Structure 1
Amino acid sequence: MELPDLSVIDAESRQLALAATPFELHGALCGWLAGGGPSVREWPAKVLADDALPTPAPGSPLDELRLASAAQLSDRSFDFSLLLPESDASLAERSGALFEWCRGFLGGFGLSAGSRPSLSEEGSEALGDLAKLAAAQAQSDGDEEDEEALVEIEEFVRVAVLLLHGDCVLAAQHRQKLN
């Protein structure tokens, strides 16, 4: 399943007065899901920890974002993608969005997985690395090497999220099947 277009996510999040960028919002949703949180229509209230937030309408861009993200995380083909600016955006815009995405992820993950999730050694290391990225600042300009590094960091984040989802959700499902 494809993620909805960034512009429609931005428009709906503004309409619902959500206090997060589309990048942070998607990161929080993915963190929530990767930590074991349920895929529910009222996800903005859950991932932004504000019960007063409205629930997206069925079939709306934010509802489609939830469905696509949950499907991508559960798909065994590893076809998971981050909601980020297009590759023709500036390095500053793309790196800033990635760091916002990571900040959102950590918040959503913490809300659903709790303070001491059961993680593999690799999962613990990945979570620590995501925390370092969340604390990073956008780079204002750069060269081709910086562009390549950003692509590698995006791929690392994508794989780290899948690893954490595997630790918290898939491993728990596997344990349930064994019992």
Structure 2
Amino acid sequence: MTDADEVDHDGLQALARRLRLGTSASELHGSLTGYLAGGGAVDGNAVLGVLELDGEAIDPTAQDLALLDRLARQSQASLADAELGFEPLLPADDRPLHERAEAVVEWCRGFLGGFGLAGAAVQASLSGEAQEVLRDLGTIAGSSFDFGNESEDEDALIEVHEFVRMAAMLLFAECGAREGTGGNTVH
């Protein structure tokens, strides 16, 4: 997949609005990532169904389904990247700090929901480290931020972002190592 083919935050946000999904691009990507990290597999035609997202009577077009397919392939490939290239799909760094911080919270909420959809059996057999990572993601998902010193706040958000990025890859690696014990595979 070339960079030109990659789904970006703005493109996914436009899709979520167009389909009236009632979720943000960050939460949608978090849900998909959590589902994949939990051992689920999906192609673009089934993303909305697997994640239990229904638009308000707006059927996705062929172009919408193609975008979801690219997003699913992009997410799967980046989680499996040996170079640790996974990145949560979040607003660009030039967006206001409060918007980016809220997007991280939404991404984590989505991740936890998607991970839960992949299968409870996986969660029960996670290592202690992975269970702690899930708890930490839950803490982030339930957070609200107080902003004070912009430089310190920016540094803190960078640290949280890096934790979230690594947490997703750790959970994907652990659950992927349990061939066949993850969630349902949808093709």
Shorter-chain TM-score: what band? 0.7 to 0.9
Distance in 2 separating the partners of 1:172 and 1:159: 19
Distance in 2 separating the partners of 1:163 and 1:118: 14
1:143 counterpart (123, 132, 150):
150
User: Residue 48 and residue 67 in structure 1: after superposition, are their counterparts in 2 closer, same or farther (change >3 A)?
Assistant: same
Match of 1:9 in 2: 12
- Offset of residue 39 of structure 1: 2.1
Q: Percent identity?
A: 41
1:98 counterpart (98, 101, 104):
104
5+ residue gaps, structure 2, are 182-187
Q: Is the 8 A contact 2:51 2:114 kept in 1?
A: yes
The residue type paired with residue 134 of structure 1 is A
Output the TM-score relative to the length of structure 2: 0.83
- Offset of residue 131 of structure 1: 0.3
Count of aligned pairs = 174
1:162 counterpart (157, 160, 169):
169
Match of 2:49 in 1: 45
The residue type paired with residue 88 of structure 2 is L
- Offset of residue 63 of structure 1: 2.0
2:25 counterpart (3, 22, 44):
22
Q: Is the 8 A contact 1:45 1:55 kept in 2?
A: no
What is the RMSD of the two structures over their aligned residues, measured on CA atoms?
2.4
Match of 2:134 in 1: 127
Distance in 2 separating the partners of 1:114 and 1:50: 23
- Offset of residue 40 of structure 1: 2.1
2:79 counterpart (73, 77, 84):
73
- Offset of residue 163 of structure 1: 0.8
User: Residue 142 and residue 97 in structure 1: after superposition, are their counterparts in 2 closer, same or farther (change >3 A)?
Assistant: farther
The yes-or-no answer on 1:113 pairing with 2:119 is yes
Runs of 4+ in 1 over 6 A off after TM superposition: none
Q: Is the 8 A contact 1:39 1:70 kept in 2?
A: no
